[in-house]
Structure 1
Amino acid sequence: MNSLRTFWRLAPARWLLVLLVALSSAACQENKPADKGAVGEKGYYTCSMHPQIHADAPGKCPICSMDLIAVKTAPTTPTPTASAAVYTCPMHPQVHQAKPGLCPICGMDLVKQAGHPTPAGSAAASSADLTLTAQQVTLGNIRTQVIGASPEERPAATVLTGTVTADALHTEGVSSRVAGRIEHLYVRQTGQLLQKGAPLFSVYSEQLQALQQEYLLALTQSREQGGAYRQFAEATAQKLRLLGLSAGQLRQLAARGWPNPVVTYYSPTTGTVQTLDVVQGQYVSEGSPLVTLTNLATVWVEAQLYSPDVAKLPLGKSVTVQVAGESGSHRGKVVFLSPELSGNSQVTLARIQLANPGGRLLPGAQANVLLDAPTTAAPAQLTLRVPVEALIRDGESSYLWTQTGERQYRRVRVSTGEGSASSVPVTAGLPAGAKVVVSGAYLLQSEYALRQGATESMNGMSM
């Protein structure tokens, strides 16, 4: 009975101890972290249209009211080695994963960011690097060129644009010597090659017919009476020669003994028909231009150049000419420099004479005249040159895009000198042998500007 009383007297203390143990166990379980992913993994909620929005809980985007989506950042893991790869989204560079997958914001395939395993924003990440997909490289026509790979590289030549024209010194026009009607036209199209002595056209002329009759009468009288009639016959023959009849036609006229109302005219030179200003059956007057013939054994290239380049192109200088459609180049000689500027364009004209065996170079073709680069500079003074389209100018600064890895590009700031129409010298900022983007640089610059703007917006508007 005493022991029973003792139990009930001590029961409240025992029950109190049991209650404390239960509460302690529950508290431990509450403090135990929930299994929501890898240890140290963090996440946030963002808008797929406005990635600068960050929130700790689900909700609506304050800009477009779309539902926020969950984004998990990389779990806390040991720092990867230099050879480790990081996969990121081309449109959302804030996303980084250690393995391939899809972007949690836009669903695009993540691309490998080789050589930059640390997340953007860390000390080792370069904000000037871009990694593109293979499709972006193809659509953007991204092409690179190694600049300064050879120690023998010299400054590029100055390029002048020009046009192939006919050599006026080897061009001859044929006009009508008499008034009459073109009975037959042997040449019907331009570009036709004619040999010297080939028939051009036949003309009916009453004037020619009367002179032929006068010549035949003078010949007959000179045979019978001689003296003054012989001189008269020679004067009449000279008139016919001046009107275009050849010595052979005069002999045929004398042998035939009667005038021919239709006289044929022949090509005075070998050449190509450049212009044709008459049709068969047309009446022409004395002096009317009919055909223009040009000998394409030599041609001119007429190039425009600014005043500072005139000193580089003295008369008699030999230059290299490249003609559109021709695989090789040609050497020509400067034969003319215009002494005046052309109108308000502040350019002058230079003519370069080229040999044209076979007549392959046709008037009207586009051509480039290359002024030889100076060779007196010492090797230490030589500078690298890049194409004009590779240079990006942003205010007073100049930039180039270089390739640093597979589909990976970096923007570098450079200093430049005075360039030509095709190339610009780089005086500082570009090492020899760098792979410079020569096509698609403006696309990379636009992509870089978009990503920089998105990063600045996220830094300034994160929730």
Structure 2
Amino acid sequence: MHPQIHQDSPGSCPICHMDLIAVKAAPIPAATATQYTCPMHPQVLSATPGSCPICHMDLVPKSAAPAGAGAGELTLTAQQVQLANIRTQTIGPAPASPTAPAAPSVLTGTVVADARRTTTVSSRVAGRVEKLFVRQTGQVLRQGTPLFSVYSEQLQMLQQQYVLALAQSRAAGGTYQQFAEATAQKLRLLGVTAAQLRRLAARGTAPPLVTYYSPGTGTVQTLRVVQGQYVAEGSPLLTLTDLGTVWVEAQLYPADATRLPVGRPVAVQVAGEAQPRRGKVIFLSPELSGTSQITLARIELANPDGRLQPGSQANVLLAPAAPTAPGAPAGLVVPPAAVLHEGAASYVWAQTGERQFRRVRVRTGAATAAAVPILAGLEPGARVVTTGAYLLQSEWTLRQGSAETMNGVPL
């Protein structure tokens, strides 16, 4: 039932599982004997004209294989070439023209805040936030801007001790001066500024509230406190981020990691902007993300105008991979439809005569949507089948695997 199945020992057909039958080699008929075959089913052979028992098409004369034809060669009739729509192309070094560059690869990413420019403001003491100067996220603060005023019994006691030690040091000096300095150091560690200490010394009385100020310039990213709230020592109150630079975190497959080495400049297209921005790769994750088999690349972008907001979508544009390997013939490419793959091997069909074709194993490079670079196996000037290669492959497979018969009787 499947004459293309051959093996050297008894067994079963891997397709229909019928027992294989023995066939005997017969002498090859004279070259002058004309055989007829079906253009669509080349396994059908007959010594006389007729119709194909499968598709009922008229049988056509079969051309004898040329002398010395190899196992990978195939000869078709003119009608077969026409029916299969065989088209060929002469390959050679392509002109180096930058007018149609390969499209870059695109990695999907997200704009995130630069962790190196993010500061969390926590409560240095336990107390009640009596006045809150920052009421919403997204507010831009300058260094030294008031954040909140807190009433704390600990601060109140230390301020009173500091004022008393200063007064006693002016009268007796010595030990009281050292005590005043030690108390001032405790207040500094609790976030009281030098200017506040000078005002405290000049006033001579401890104010009920102590105001805390912004440690730097940035945008309020999170706000975890409301006015009148009692906070514990160490409670995080707000997060301040300087958006002068931001990160773009992009996902990529490990195979693309070699195209993004640390330090390489890349183009980043941010949603809502017409032109891409230039950034630099500063980090490649050394591990894969869970079961997704992807890794993370981090790109640093300058953001002097503050237009890039964390959470925005961004695409990292990778330059296209080089089409050929070092030492390969430059520009020796074929259309993707010309290349056939069998496992790890790749083949093309080359035209060797008017209607003669030969299967050639080739080594290919990184393919694009428009071309496949040929690294080995072909020379410039070869004619390669660009349309109909799959039909040639099917024809060759059938002829290789089928036992030649004439009217159902082995020759």
Q: TM-score, normalized by length of structure 1? A: 0.51
Shift of 1:381: 4.3
State the partner residue of 1:328. 275
Q: Are 1:418 and 1:425, in contact at CA under 8 Å, matched by a contact in 2?
A: no
State the partner residue of 2:105. 158
CA RMSD across the alignment:
2.8
Residue among 155, 177, 182 paired with 1:230:
177
Residue among 238, 244, 258 paired with 1:311:
258
Shift of 1:157: 1.4
Shift of 1:152: 2.6
Pick closer, same or farther for the CA change 1:208–1:382 going to 2, 3 Å.
farther
Q: Deviations over 1:401-424 (max 9, x none)?
A: xxxxxxxxxxxxxxx9977xxx83
Q: Are 2:282 and 2:298, in contact at CA under 8 Å, matched by a contact in 1?
A: yes
Pick closer, same or farther for the CA change 1:284–1:426 going to 2, 3 Å.
same
Shift of 1:380: 2.1
Shift of 1:360: 0.6
Q: Are 1:417 and 1:426, in contact at CA under 8 Å, matched by a contact in 2?
A: no
Q: Deviations over 1:109-149 (max 9, x none)?
A: xxxxxxxxxxxxxxxxxxxxxxxxxxxxxxxxxxxxxxx9x
State the partner residue of 1:439. none
Residue among 264, 278, 289 paired with 2:225:
278
Q: Are 2:111 and 2:309, in contact at CA under 8 Å, matched by a contact in 1?
A: yes
Secondary structure of the residue aligned to 1:357 is: coil
Give the Cα–Cα distance (whole angstroms) in 2 for the partners of residues 325 and 239 of structure 1. Answer: 50
1:28-427 pair list within 5 angstroms: 152-374=99-321, 377=324, 380-381=331-332, 424-427=369-372
Q: Deviations over 1:353-390 (max 9, x none)?
A: 000011011100000001122457576246889xxxxx
Shift of 1:166: 0.3
State the partner residue of 1:28. none
Give the Cα–Cα distance (whole angstroms) in 1 for the partners of residues 229 and 307 of structure 2. Answer: 33
Q: Counterpart of 2:265 in structure 1: which amino acid?
A: S
Percent same amino acid at aligned positions?
Answer: 66
Pick closer, same or farther for the CA change 1:374–1:204 going to 2, 3 Å.
same
Pick closer, same or farther for the CA change 1:356–1:379 going to 2, 3 Å.
farther
State the partner residue of 2:395. none
Secondary structure of the residue aligned to 1:424 is: coil
Shift of 1:286: 0.3
Secondary structure of the residue aligned to 2:305 is: helix
Q: TM-score, normalized by length of structure 2? A: 0.57
Secondary structure of the residue aligned to 2:181 is: helix
Pick closer, same or farther for the CA change 1:349–1:235 going to 2, 3 Å.
same
Q: Counterpart of 1:191 in structure 2: which amino acid?
A: G
Shift of 1:339: 1.0
Q: Are 1:155 and 1:384, in contact at CA under 8 Å, matched by a contact in 2?
A: no
Give the Cα–Cα distance (whole angstroms) in 2 for the partners of residues 162 and 356 of structure 1. Answer: 16
Give the Cα–Cα distance (whole angstroms) in 2 for the partners of residues 210 and 242 of structure 1. Answer: 15
Give the Cα–Cα distance (whole angstroms) in 2 for the partners of residues 151 and 219 of structure 1. Answer: 79
Give the Cα–Cα distance (whole angstroms) in 1 for the partners of residues 185 and 311 of structure 2. Answer: 41
Secondary structure of the residue aligned to 1:331 is: strand
Shift of 1:153: 1.6
Q: Are 1:302 and 1:351, in contact at CA under 8 Å, matched by a contact in 2?
A: yes
Pick closer, same or farther for the CA change 1:179–1:381 going to 2, 3 Å.
farther
Q: Counterpart of 1:348 in structure 2: which amino acid?
A: T
State the partner residue of 1:108. none
Give the Cα–Cα distance (whole angstroms) in 2 for the partners of residues 169 and 199 of structure 1. Answer: 23
Q: Are 1:417 and 1:425, in contact at CA under 8 Å, matched by a contact in 2?
A: no
Q: Deviations over 1:192-239 (max 9, x none)?
A: 100000000111111100000010111111111111111111110000
Q: Deviations over 1:216-265 (max 9, x none)?
A: 11111111111111111111000000111100000000111110111110
Specify every segment of 5 or more residues in structure 1 that has no aligned partner in the other structure, as ranges. 1-147, 386-415, 429-463
State the partner residue of 2:59. none
Q: Counterpart of 1:176 in structure 2: which amino acid?
A: S
Give the Cα–Cα distance (whole angstroms) in 2 for the partners of residues 319 and 370 of structure 1. Answer: 7
Give the Cα–Cα distance (whole angstroms) in 2 for the partners of residues 294 and 204 of structure 1. Answer: 27
Secondary structure of the residue aligned to 2:186 is: helix
State the partner residue of 1:126. none
Specify every segment of 5 or more residues in structure 2 that has no aligned partner in the other structure, as ranges. 1-94, 337-363, 374-411
Secondary structure of the residue aligned to 1:236 is: helix
The count of corresponding residues between Structure 1 and Structure 2 is: 252
